[in-house]
């Protein structure tokens, strides 16, 4: 395979007339890293990917792949391979012809081309289907053809734009495992776009979370989940998402609707929000928790039970053991340790931290070193 290369993006911007689609976007991707651009529809993640690919022009900023400045370089000279959501296969060509199309364009000798096609097909377990047409394949098989076509080019960088979104849930899980195994084996630098945080968490070495064209937080899946930088990240990461209660912080105490919690060393904040994860709280007897709420629904999902309660006109979700049950409209307590809670300034969305935990720069708040070797990653 080609040698994996780093990617360095500095203050990349995209304008469509007066619309500012991508705003001062900067990040570094290490050689061999699997980085996921994650965010809701319209947040700019696919635009950023297409700019890296050269399919969209860069309005301002710089893009480096390895040691080369490719800001204004044509796509075919960037040494990248892209996998699209729609597969983009030629319906009249066989699997083998689709996989080998980049080699044919590059005028690789026939014997060498056939050997490379076979090797790429074996990598995605399609060697027995080389004579089939795309219309004779399942969705997962077609996506693997698209992956094999990208592999056969021996690129330095893979770009993937929601490649699994057209598959059913079971097949998506299977393909996620295949993708991660393939990327670990090949060690190719990969940028992967998705709106599905459940898809991002198991795949990524690091996740870049975006909103409204701007980077919100960059870090390992564990970091962005357990230590969110702001209200948006806290609410976007996690299924079910984090629970929120609004109130105020004064003299080291958070006070909301029938809730009082210690908030030591945090500044007085007239409009504050406390957040806590469903797995960090539990349903207890009324009067025995941090506050009481009324049970709304109880859903047994197999390995756990999700209990949704109503409190202050909004839902609060709690993960309980799979043998838990209670009747609807039952008043119960919700208990959690304030040590597991996150506090935010409601208006700005910024995380509130004690002085000892505050990071000094935006970069240290949103990024972590990605010092990874070229080659297989464990």
Tokens for 187?
């060690």
pLDDT score at 369? 42
Q: Is the pLDDT of residue 34 over 90?
A: yes
- pLDDT above 80 (res 370): no
Domains of the chain in start order, with CATH, are 7-226 (3.40.50.300), 241-351 (2.40.50.140)
Q: Sheet containing 206-211: which strands, arranged edge to edge?
A: 80-83, 157-161, 189-194, 34-38, 206-211, 214-219
The DSSP string of 95-163 is HHHHHHHHHHHTT--HHHHHHHHHHHHHHTT-GGGTTS-GGGS-HHHHHHHHHHHHHTT--SEEEEEST
Q: Which SS3 state, helix, strand or coil, does residue 375 take? A: coil
The 10s digit of each residue's pLDDT in 210-226 is 999 999 999 999 999 99
Task: Give the pTM.
Answer: 0.86
What number of CA atoms fall less than 13 Å from residue 306's CA on the CB side?
12
At 88, the pLDDT band (50, 70, 90 cuts) reads confident
Q: Tell the burial category of 117 from Cβ atoms under 10 Å away from its Cβ (0-12, 13-18, 19+).
A: buried
274-331 tens-digit pLDDT:
999 999 999 999 999 999 999 999 999 999 999 999 998 899 999 999 999 999 899 9
pLDDT of residue 366: 46
DSSP annotation of 249 reads E
Mean pLDDT of 202-210: 96
pLDDT value of position 99: 94
Across the chain, what does the average pLDDT equal?
89
Q: Given this model, what pLDDT does residue 96 score? A: 95
159 φ/ψ angles, rounded to the nearest 5 degrees: -120, 125
pLDDT at 256 over 60: yes
Specify the range with the lowest mean pLDDT, choosing from 12-26, 87-101, 156-170, 277-291. Answer: 156-170
- Asked whether the predicted pLDDT for residue 85 surpasses 70, the reply is yes
pLDDT at position 359 is 60
Q: pLDDT above 90 covers what percent of the chain? A: 70
One DSSP character per residue, 44-69 reads: SHHHHHHHHHTSS--SEEEEEETTEE
Asked if residue 199 has pLDDT above 60, the reply is yes
Average pLDDT over residues 254-281: 95
Which pLDDT score is estimated for 288?
95
């Amino acid at each position: 395979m080609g040698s994996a290369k780093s990617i360095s993006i500095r203050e990349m911007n995209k304008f469509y007339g007066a619309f500012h689609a991508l705003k001062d976007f900067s990040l570094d991707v290490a050689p061999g890293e699997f980085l996921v651009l994650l965010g809701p529809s319209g947040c700019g993640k696919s635009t950023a990917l297409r700019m890296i690919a050269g399919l969209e022009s860069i309005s301002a900023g710089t893009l480096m792949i390895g040691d080369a400045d490719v800001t204004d370089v044509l796509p075919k000279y960037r040494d990248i391979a892209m996998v699209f959501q729609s597969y983009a296969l030629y319906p009249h060509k066989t699997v083998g012809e689709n996989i080998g199309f980049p080699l044919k364009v590059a005028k690789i000798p026939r014997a060498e081309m056939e050997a490379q096609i076979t090797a790429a097909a074996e990598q995605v377990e399609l060697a027995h289907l080389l004579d089939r047409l795309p219309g004779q394949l399942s969705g997962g098989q077609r996506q693997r053809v698209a992956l094999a076509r990208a592999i056969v080019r021996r690129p330095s960088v893979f770009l993937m734009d929601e490649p699994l979104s057209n598959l059913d849930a079971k097949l998506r899980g299977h393909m996620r495992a295949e993708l991660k195994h393939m990327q670990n084996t090949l060690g190719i630098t990969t940028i992967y776009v998705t709106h599905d945080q459940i898809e991002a968490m198991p795949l990524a070495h690091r996740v870049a979370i975006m909103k409204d064209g701007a980077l919100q937080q960059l870090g390992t899946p564990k970091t962005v989940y357990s230590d969110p930088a702001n209200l948006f990240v806290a609410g976007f990461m996690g299924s079910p998402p984090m629970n929120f209660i609004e109130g105020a912080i004064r003299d080291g105490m958070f006070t909301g609707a029938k809730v009082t919690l210690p908030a030591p060393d945090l500044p007085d904040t007239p409009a504050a929000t406390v957040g806590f994860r469903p797995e960090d709280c539990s349903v207890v007897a009324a009067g025995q928790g941090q506050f009481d709420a009324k049970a709304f629904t109880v859903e047994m999902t197999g390995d756990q039970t999700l209990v949704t309660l109503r409190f202050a006109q909004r839902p609060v979700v709690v993960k309980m053991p799979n043998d838990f049950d209670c009747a609807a409209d039952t008043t119960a307590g919700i208990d959690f340790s304030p040590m597991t809670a996150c506090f935010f300034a409601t208006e700005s969305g910024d995380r509130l931290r004690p002085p000892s935990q505050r990071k000094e720069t935006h970069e240290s708040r949103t990024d972590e070193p990605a010092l990874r070797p070229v080659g297989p990653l464990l």
